[in-house]
Amino acid sequence: MMDQRASEASARGEEPRRVQTWVPYDRISQNLVRAVLAGEDSRFFDHGGFDWEEMQKALEKDWNEGKFKRGASTISQQLAKNLFLSTSKNPVRKLNEALITWEMERILGKRRILEIYLNVIEWGDGIYGAEAAARNYFKAPAASLNADQAAFLSAIIPSPNGAYNPLTRRRKVEHRKNLIERLMRHVVIPRDLS
């Protein structure tokens, strides 16, 4: 995805921007882990890469509305797409995503998948990973994020440069942040991961 974003910036005649600092899982606030799980994949620890229940809900909603809008991608699926594929909705891309997701779940395990995801996810124009996002938005390390800050960062993940851009859609971001804060109370991180 980073390469795709750099190509998009170049095509617009802009200098591609990339701010990223890799940090180990242990140096990422558990508040942020909990917020990201609440906002992106609340059953992350209960599935093998695919949340069949969420997929069914998404399909039913899309069918009833006559649109194909609602996503049901797990964190593992998002990571597969971001690392190896494009943002295309092409069925072949989705098949490749499924194969990569299955393989990652089998080989890496949940902690490593979360660590990689939290270090590569896009959090704004050229901002990748929890450390860069925490420093950009709060001038603090990812390890020190409180629940409110973590919920804010989680709220912008679906579209940090578009629908959930905090600079242009602050109200929408605040609404989603408040929802995530409520959902965070129900997220349990297994002891061997916290």
Average pLDDT value for residue range 20-43: 97
pLDDT class of 6 with cuts at 50, 70, 90: low
Average pLDDT value for residue range 164-182: 97
3-state secondary structure of 11: helix
Our measurement of the distance from residue 176's CA atom to the centroid of its chain's CA atoms, rounded to an integer in Å, reads 14
Average pLDDT value for residue range 16-24: 88
130-138 vs 147-156: helix crossing angle, rounded to 10: 110
Residue 183 · residue 39 · CB < 8 Å: yes
Whole-number average pLDDT of the chain: 89
* Predicted local confidence at residue 170, as pLDDT: 96
Report d(CA 70, CA 118) in Å as an integer: 22
| Tens digits of residue pLDDT in 81-140 | 989 987 777 788 889 999 999 999 999 999 999 999 999 999 999 999 999 999 999 999
In a 13 Å sphere around the CA of 101, the CA atoms on its Cβ side amount to 21
* Predicted local confidence at residue 68, as pLDDT: 53
Q: Is residue 66 pLDDT above 90, yes or no?
A: no
* Predicted local confidence at residue 70, as pLDDT: 47
Work out the end-to-end distance of the chain between its first and last CA atoms, rounded to an integer number of angstroms: 28
The region that residue 109 occupies, defined by phi over 0 for left and psi between -120 and 50 for alpha, beta otherwise, is left
Q: Which domains does the chain have, with CATH numbers?
A: 16-184 (1.10.3810.10)
Average pLDDT value for residue range 21-45: 97
